[in-house]
Amino acid sequence: MFKVAVIGGSGLLGRAIVQELNAQSGWAVSATAFRRAWPGLTALDIRDSKSVDRFIDDTRPDAIVIAAAERRPDICEHEPLVARALNVDAVRAIANAARRCGAWTLSISTDYVFDGSRPPYLPADPPHPINAYGTSKLEGERALMEASTSSCVLRLPLLYGPIVDWQESAVTSLVPAIAASASGLPDGKTAVMDAWATRYPTYTPDVAVLIRQLLERRLQGVPVCGVTHWSGDEPMTKYDIALSIASALGIQARISPQHHPTDATPRPRDCHLDSSTLDAMGLGQRTSFAVAIKKTLDAFPWQGSAGLDGG
């Protein structure tokens, strides 16, 4: 039995990883949660290094997947100490505890470690984050590697998948505005969506399959270390995403493109991650955005253009 600890098992990606591993035989999964603890998950504040040590000492995992983070760029920009506590200090504490018990560690990072000026980016390309979120995640990568060079960093782009509320992903967070535009906004204007920055939305169940495959390689004695990339392969702006969501919902939404950046927190224009290394190994799977977003929306209740449910 291969024992895996998923740190952040109640989050958007963590839930998909836990579900993927539990669907296979031969895995013993221990998962943690902070705000959404429920039966089968251990409550753990990863900012508390003593609690981290105790959890890892108790579970003695063979491998650890760190899926917990502060991933909201605006929060990171305005509360850098919060970002550092979760994205750097907690990663270091987990990595040090993992090293002491001999566990291999995989930590999730982001495409925002790049400035978006020269895509696509290979794992060896020099990082150059332009906001506090990207900076904190890059420092977390370095903290992990300082603790153990046999660990692995998996950089991912914009994620979406099965949700527990609309705001859990930047993709599904667009739904309320899209629905409101279909019913008519109070001032009669359409919903304005960013058409400047290109993103590569990536489906969390697909990422979970990849992580399970990486764990299997590690179990087989194949070295899995350093930095690697995985990404969806469909370039989309938020405007493109919004149009696809409206189509999946079957509503006539009024959406207009915005061709210049307006975010208070700087975001890269296009930091496409080159996934060719993992592609060449035959790892991973990609579900088309149209199919995956329909699955995501169909699984989460809503009440049509007059209002939303489930939030």
Model pLDDT for residues 184-243, shown as the tens digit of each residue: 655 557 899 999 999 999 999 999 999 999 999 999 999 999 999 999 999 999 999 999
Mean pLDDT for 276-305 is 89
Q: Are 15 and 160 in contact (CB under 8 A)?
A: no
pLDDT on residue 186: 59
- Residue pair 64/91 in contact (Cβ under 8 Å)? The answer is no
The pLDDT mean for the chain works out to: 93
Residue 273 DSSP class: B
Q: DSSP string spanning 209-229?
A: HHHHHHHHHHHTT----EEEE
What pLDDT sits at residue 40?
82
Give the model's pLDDT for residue 301. Answer: 72
Confidence of residue 310 (pLDDT cuts 50, 70, 90): very low
- Residue written as tokens 């895996």? 4
Q: With H, G, I as helix, E, B as strand and everything else as coil, classify residue 193.
A: strand
DSSP 95-129: HHHHHHHT-EEEEEEEGGGS-SSS-SB-TTSPP--
Q: Rounded to whole angstroms, how far apart are CA atoms 174 and 270? A: 20
Closest by CA to 124, choosing from 286, 269, 277, 235, is: 277
Residue 200 a catalytic site member = no
Distance CA 151, CA 95 (A): 9
What's residue 293's pLDDT? 97
pLDDT of residue 292: 98
The pTM is what?
0.94
Structural tokens at position 21: 């591993």
Q: Work out the number of other CB atoms within 10 angstroms of the CB of residue 20.
A: 22
What torsion, rounded to 10 degrees, do the Cα atoms 185, 261, 204, 156 define?
A: -170
Separation in Å, CA 239 to CA 198, 245, 258, 272:
10, 10, 8, 18
Q: How confident is the model at residue 182 (pLDDT cuts 50, 70, 90)?
A: confident
For 140, phi then psi, to 5°, come to -65, -40
Q: Of 235, 231, 272, which Cα lies nearest the Cα of 115?
A: 272
- Amino acid at residue number 248: A
pLDDT digits (tens, 9 = 90+) for 61-89: 999 999 999 999 999 999 999 999 999 99
Nearest to 168 by CA among 156, 180, 160: 160
Which entry of 121, 133, 160, 239 is annotated as an active-site residue? 133
Q: What is the pLDDT of residues 17-66, one digit of tens each?
A: 999 999 999 999 999 998 666 778 999 999 999 999 999 999 999 999 99
Distance CA 39, CA 19 (A): 14
Angle (CA) 233-239-242 rounded to 5° is 85
Domains and CATH numbers, the chain: 2-159+201-229 (3.40.50.720), 165-198+235-266+288-306 (3.90.25.10)
- 105-121 pLDDT per residue, tens: 999 999 999 999 999 99
